[in-house]
Amino acid sequence: MIDQIGPNYIGFQTSQLGNSFSTLNPKELKDNPYILHTATEDEIHRAAELSEKAFYEYAELSGSRRAAFLEAIASEMETIKEDIVKVYCSESGLPEGRAIGEFGRTCFQLRSYANHIRKEEHLNLKIDTADEERQPMPKPDLRKLSIPIGPIAVFGSSNFPLAYSTAGGDTASALAAGCTVVLKAHPMHAATSSLVALAILKAAKLTEMPEGVFSHLNSNTHQEGQLLVSHPAIKGVGFTGSLKGGRALFDLASKRKTPIPVFAEMGSVNPVIILPKAVENKAIWTSSIAASMALAAGQFCTNPGLLILFKDKNSEAFISDLTQSLAETGDSCMLHPSIFENFQKNKAKLLKQKGVQLLSGTSTTNAAEDHINGEKVLAKVSAKTFIDNPELHEEVFGVFSLIIELENTEDLFHLICTLEGQLTGSILGEEAEFKTFEREINMLKHKVGRLIFNGVPTGVEVCESMLHGGPYPSTTDPRYTAVGVDSIQRWLRPLSYQNCPETLLPEALHNKNNAMKMRRVNSKFNNESIV
């Protein structure tokens, strides 16, 4: 399969009209042997038009048909797992264990969406039957369900070549919802993306999906993404990346003649509040916090960027132990020289701020030479200084955490008030302390998408109760998750039928509930037929 890497896939057809480029091996700092071709404006147009044409057929398929397609994608990926893992490692610099783990998660996600849509719970079925005798006016028959919004442009993520990219959460949830997908591959791992795209297209053919249900476009500039989002056939956007990139796409989509939703996961510093008992019991927490900071060179959206604790008799020893634990973590290669350079630049900018004390690492801007191993930086600042300086609130993507020392409880409350939206907020301590700081915890819950007790923020469980999202700027819409089956809801909209003949209704809204689907009928949730 590796020999098929390179062209754009417009439905089942290949096209390579654009300029050629290669991806980089970040461990060896040399080009990979895979030659890819950027998508031209014409190719982007054809992919979007074909996606729209396919949508009207694909949207009408049953949940079972779409589920079989998703399961086939996972199976086809598994047949070329060895090739995918090999290329993944050469493009990302990440270890094989990480590649295998992310591969498994991606296949699990696909199958979990398949299981969910077979039950059709995502349709949010509601029925209110007519009452012709009602006074002063008769009540009409109303039946509501969710329908797909249209073709979706999905952007591959830099830090997750599989789980948040080609067949990852955005693509899998959009396909599950009944939307077609045009995928813009991330230029850092375009060859990995190409292999996964081949598996998706083979699965589409095997399960007799309409041509155009999925297309795959290469790019190495911002222009391709802008053209795709601007195309009138595209009805929604999925993005995981930087605040700058996500906001640019959001603004572009809002300025269209017909604005479209952009569901973007962006920046987050994921505050960790370390209460006095956790500081006192440092042996329990310093190593796990350090490991969370250093995981994959800190290139996680849930990396713990803020460590908040009270300055007391135990805090100095806690910080010392944390610094030592961080030094003992292994070195990891960053994903790309550009990410390494941004880390160096943003690190240096933050460390130049008044009142910031460097505890580990360097404050200088180092250029990549023969390696781009992530530096491990820990700094400290007072709560007052942090509150007064918004530049200290910015994410540094990499192994960088800022310790904030509190003088009192009011410091903590005011600090939380100043925070922008975050994906996660963590509280470490004993249960009795949680009650003592209930006011502060209640404030924190309005700033985050996931509130974690006695755990580090890295690690996202793929399950129905997971919320991977949060208030702006962590995402563009805090009402939705990017992980778990509820992420399907991003790509659906409600539709009501009023006094519709049963022959024209979707089967799930018929009086006779042959498939025993759970529905809310006249305010009662059940799977019974309507007599």
CA atoms within 13 A on the CB side of 6: 13
List the catalytic residue out of 301, 375, 395, 405: 301
Conformation bin of residue 495: beta by default, left when phi > 0, alpha when psi is -120 to 50: beta
The pairs formed by 140-144 with CB atoms below 8 angstroms and a separation of 24 or more are 140/498, 140/499, 141/498, 141/499, 141/500, 142/496, 142/497, 142/498, 143/496, 143/497, 143/500, 143/505, 143/509, 144/494, 144/495, 144/496, 144/497
**Do you know the residue count of the chain?**
531
Q: Which of 102, 265, 405, 440 is catalytic?
A: 265
CA–CA gap between residue 68 and residue 81 (Å, rounded): 20
- In this structure, are strands 152-155 and 519-521 parallel, antiparallel, or unpaired? unpaired
- 301 is known as an active-site residue: yes
Vertex 116, ends 111 and 121: CA angle to 5°? 170
Q: What are phi and psi of 72, to 5 degrees?
A: -65, -35
Q: Is 265 a catalytic residue?
A: yes
Token representation of residue 381: 């600042």
Q: Is the dihedral of CA 443, 448, 453, 457 positive or negative?
A: negative
Q: Which residues pair with 496 in a beta bridge?
A: 144
Bin 147: left if φ > 0, else alpha if -120 < ψ < 50, else beta.
beta
For residues 479 and 121, give the distance between their C-alpha atoms in angstroms, rounded to a whole number.
18
In Å, what is the CA distance from 31 to each residue of 26, 336, 419, 435?
A: 9, 12, 41, 55
Q: Annotated catalytic sites, by residue?
A: 265, 301
